[in-house]
Amino acid sequence: MQYRTLGNTDLKLSVITHGAFAIGGHMWGGNEKQDSINAIRASLDHGITSIDTAPFYGFGLSETLVGDAIKGKDRSKIQLLTKFGLVWDGSNNGKGTFFFDATENGNTVPVYKYASKENVIKETEASLKRLGTDYIDLLQLHWPDASTPVSETMEALGLLIQQGKIRAAGVSNYDVAQLQEAAQTLKPASNQVSYSMLNRSIEKDLVPYALETHTGIIAYSPMERGLLTGKYFKEHRLASDDHRNGYFTQFNLEKVKTLLQSMEPMAKRKDATLAQLVLRWTTLQPGISVVLAGARNAAQAIANAEAMNLELNPEERQSIHQQLSGLQQHSTDHL
């Protein structure tokens, strides 16, 4: 495993970071608790020291499972990344910006973007409790909230840093203008954004800005929620409540299938899976600090970690870029 310093902080994160969205179960067709815990522990055992989660993932379940998984571990060797700013329990009293309607236990649950100072502090305390820790390594705004001044949110994060409850503050899904506005109060250490072979829109503006300002980029959905593993084309079976049934429709699936078929020989030569090749390619792109990779069980977690064993020479990288040139880039809302 390799480790990189995040932005202008002293945080060293594993280049492959364990993404804990799916283990929350919600929107992913459920989960298996022990498998999820085993996946996190397998990641830790194989050099993945950083775990990214959020209160919204499973309405608190993902954070709770992460907390259970790290019990008894050396906390100083683990970096916990979580978020705030998506409220689903009604505690915002209608304040904030309505995002969408989620479903919990068959009931419709309105989700709001809400990043007021009061809410940032409240959510942080709840996350600390669920994670079973007294500090968070990186706390990130989950989505921009148009109803709250950016300065107010950044001031709250600055206060949490002063109190020692978080080591660093970041944002998610920000564009360059929003990063510039935030930096007037508190420079974000990082920006967590969607980036994959099928969605490279950040390369135009965000990556150059990040490189210029030493802002970390945390890439999520590098495998487009499993689509780029190739399994979807061989095992076309998703639970009825799995959000990917709709998510995958944004892509030209025939072109994606052709792309994966074109990359299979390279993966086989390297005794690797397509998922490992996709992950390793993503880690090598300019401006990308770390890449999130989800795992539902220990075997998947180990495979993610072993992706870093792959070497891609300049000719191989160029070959992949040529194969990607015919694909239309997509940009869509992600969680």
The closest of 147, 201, 198, 141 to 172, measured between CA atoms, is 141
How do residues 322-332 score in pLDDT, each as one tens digit?
Answer: 888 766 544 44
- pLDDT value of residue 40: 95
Q: Which of 237-241, 248-252, 308-312 has the lowest mean pLDDT?
A: 237-241
Pinpoint the alpha helices (H) of the chain.
33-45, 61-70, 117-131, 150-163, 176-183, 206-213, 231-234, 244-247, 253-269, 274-283, 298-306, 314-324
Encoding tokens for residue 170?
């970041």
Ordered structural domains, the chain, with CATH? 3-324 (3.20.20.100)
pLDDT tens-digit readout, 25-45? 454 445 678 888 999 999 999
pLDDT single digits (tens) 167-216: 999 999 999 999 999 999 999 999 999 999 988 999 999 999 999 999 99
Q: What is the CA radius of gyration of the chain?
A: 19
CA 43 to chain CA centroid, Å, is 15
Q: What tokens does 303 get? A: 């495979």
- What confidence tier does 224 reach under pLDDT thresholds 50, 70, 90? confident
Catalytic residues: 57
Please name which of 146, 179, 172, 141 lies closest in space to residue 157, comparing C-alpha atoms.
141
- Which pTM value belongs to this model? 0.90
